[in-house]
Amino acid sequence: MAFEPSEKLQAILDMINEFVDKELIPMEAEMKGKEFFAFEGELEKKRQMVRDMELWAPLHPKEFGGMELPLMDTAMIYEALGRTPFGLYVFGCQAPDAGNIEILHKFGTEEQKEKWLRPLIEGKIRSCFSMTEVEVAGSNPTWLLTTAEKDGDDYVINGHKWYSSSADGSKFAIVMAETNPENESLHKRASMIIVPTDAPGFNLVRNISVMGHTGEGYASHAEISYQNCRVPKENILGGEGMGFVLAQERLGPGRIHHCMRWVGIMNRCFGLMCSYAKSRRRTPTEVLADSDIIKTYIADSAADILSSRLMVLNAAYIIQTKGVKDAMKDISIIKFHVANAMQRVIDRALQVHGGLGMSDDTPIAMYYRQDRAARIYDGADEVHKISVARRILKEY
């Protein structure tokens, strides 16, 4: 299957690509050595331009101001937006808000939708997703120490989380906590609860320094201590014991979007690598691209990008036509394959740029640093590989 975009989608992609090239990539030079939050004012102007072009929130529901495009279309949009670190944020479809929007829309009450979902889609507030804990293995999501106990009309939450991305400046967190520890099924013990970040007992301990960068605001990863944190029981999302059902819903399409953003990153680094290889002289008469070794970097990267792109679109096609359950194996395959392919492509691009690649004069070093995490978050490589092999071996 060629996975050609429709005429209408191609027109949208053309507009997005032009916007990325003209409005966003030129901003990157100013970003050097600064944190994302320093640009929030400037980025808000770009967001308004996107709203005026009626390209805001491509994957989110129309009734709340989004475009509500099908998954295959949004996958290609993520590829286009992945070419710049500002892309998703400026078009209103950045993680972790996108995943939170999905579950709020599917499982939220009318009151929760008005209070949290609408301003989130409109880009007036931000949110975070608070599941991973400091003391226990995040790779085993049935093992949570955070509890939410009923007390009168409230839940009282106690626990110690970290890597709650974007928590700094968020209005609320969706917190995974055990509400039914006595349930026989390990998968029915946890629930998701909406916790306003100004609730008593919500303590942001610190923004974790990651690869030498203490991100702030949208680009933060927080450690959070929930100490007798009290929220009304209406803040439960989708009902008690539904945490894993919601987590599954959240991660299926989410992984398509992550992986297509990574394809966008690969495209960007590949373009930089090829241009540099053709322009950088290694002798007065020869450029880097004259070397056969450099040609193998280019060929291997082209293969990494093409295989990744086709595999992600194939998984998106299965989700769109059959549902997430039928795509579980394919979702796990793309998660580890594309994360590793991206790292190989970024690494080759950096190598070809030599000292320039290590500098912050191109975005390659930033991608190298930031996107190493792709092999860890949303399930480490090993976890997905084990899951894929298990599913395959069942057939033998």
Ligand X SMILES: Cc1cc2nc3c(=O)[nH]c(=O)nc-3n(C[C@H](O)[C@H](O)[C@H](O)COP(=O)(O)OP(=O)(O)OC[C@H]3O[C@@H](n4cnc5c(N)ncnc54)[C@H](O)[C@@H]3O)c2cc1C
Binding of residue 94 to ligand X (CB under 6 A)? no
Binding of residue 132 to ligand X (CB under 6 A)? yes
Binding of residue 131 to ligand X (CB under 6 A)? yes
Give the one residue of 51, 360, 377, 391 binding ligand X; rule: CB under 6 A: 377
| Contact (CB, 8 A) for 237 and 103 | yes
Binding of residue 221 to ligand X (CB under 6 A)? yes
Looking up tokens 């085993």 gives: 140
Under rule CB under 6 A, how many of the chain's residues touch ligand X?
19
Binding of residue 85 to ligand X (CB under 6 A)? no
The H or E element spanning position 155 is strand 154-165
Distances (CA, A) of 234 to 106, 109, 231, 256: 16, 9, 8, 31
Segment near ligand X (CB under 6 A); pick from 124-132, 243-251, 332-340, 353-361? 124-132
**For ligand X, which residue has the nearest CB?**
138
Looking up tokens 């053709």 gives: 278
**Residue 3: partners with Cβ closer than 8 Å, 6 or more residues away:** 72, 310, 313, 317
Binding of residue 208 to ligand X (CB under 6 A)? no
Judged on CB neighbours under 10 Å (0-12, 13-18, 19+), 358 is: middle
Residue 120: both structure tokens together: 């989130």
Q: Which one-letter amino acid corresponds to residue 128?
A: C
Segment near ligand X (CB under 6 A); pick from 191-199, 311-319, 328-336, 370-378? 370-378
Shortest separation between residue 140's beta carbon and ligand X, angstroms: 6
Shortest separation between residue 235's beta carbon and ligand X, angstroms: 18
The H or E element spanning position 205 is strand 202-207
Binding of residue 129 to ligand X (CB under 6 A)? yes
Nearest to 125 by CA among 96, 164, 146: 96
Binding of residue 209 to ligand X (CB under 6 A)? no
Give the one residue of 85, 108, 138, 215 binding ligand X; rule: CB under 6 A: 138
Shortest separation between residue 131's beta carbon and ligand X, angstroms: 3
Give the one residue of 337, 383, 387, 388 binding ligand X; rule: CB under 6 A: 383
Shortest separation between residue 79's beta carbon and ligand X, angstroms: 21
Binding of residue 311 to ligand X (CB under 6 A)? no
Q: How far apart are CA 105 and CA 116, in angstroms?
A: 10
Segment near ligand X (CB under 6 A); pick from 137-145, 148-156, 246-254, 319-327? 137-145
Segment near ligand X (CB under 6 A); pick from 136-144, 188-196, 224-232, 335-343? 136-144
Shortest separation between residue 371's beta carbon and ligand X, angstroms: 9
Considering only residues 152 through 171, tell me which ones interact with ligand X, judged by CB under 6 A.
Answer: 163-165
| Contact (CB, 8 A) for 228 and 156 | yes
Q: How far apart are CA 277 and CA 257, in angstroms?
A: 30
Give the one residue of 85, 96, 123, 241 binding ligand X; rule: CB under 6 A: 96
Burial profile 334-356: b = 16 or more Cβ within 10 angstroms, e = fewer: bbbbbbebbbebbbbbbebbeee
Binding of residue 265 to ligand X (CB under 6 A)? no
User: What is the chain's length?
Assistant: 396
Binding of residue 172 to ligand X (CB under 6 A)? no
Give the one residue of 6, 10, 48, 139 binding ligand X; rule: CB under 6 A: 139
Q: How far apart are CA 349 and CA 362, in angstroms?
A: 10
Binding of residue 382 to ligand X (CB under 6 A)? yes
Binding of residue 380 to ligand X (CB under 6 A)? yes
Segment near ligand X (CB under 6 A); pick from 16-24, 194-202, 287-295, 375-383? 375-383
Shortest separation between residue 317's beta carbon and ligand X, angstroms: 26
| Contact (CB, 8 A) for 342 and 265 | yes
Binding of residue 327 to ligand X (CB under 6 A)? no
Q: How far apart are CA 163 and CA 146, in angstroms?
A: 15
Residue 162: both structure tokens together: 């970290």
| Contact (CB, 8 A) for 193 and 177 | yes
Binding of residue 137 to ligand X (CB under 6 A)? yes
Shortest separation between residue 224's beta carbon and ligand X, angstroms: 10
**Residue 340: partners with Cβ closer than 8 Å, 6 or more residues away:** 375, 381
Q: By the criterion CB under 6 A, which residues form the site for ligand X?
A: 96, 129-132, 137-139, 163-165, 221, 373, 376-377, 380, 382-383, 386
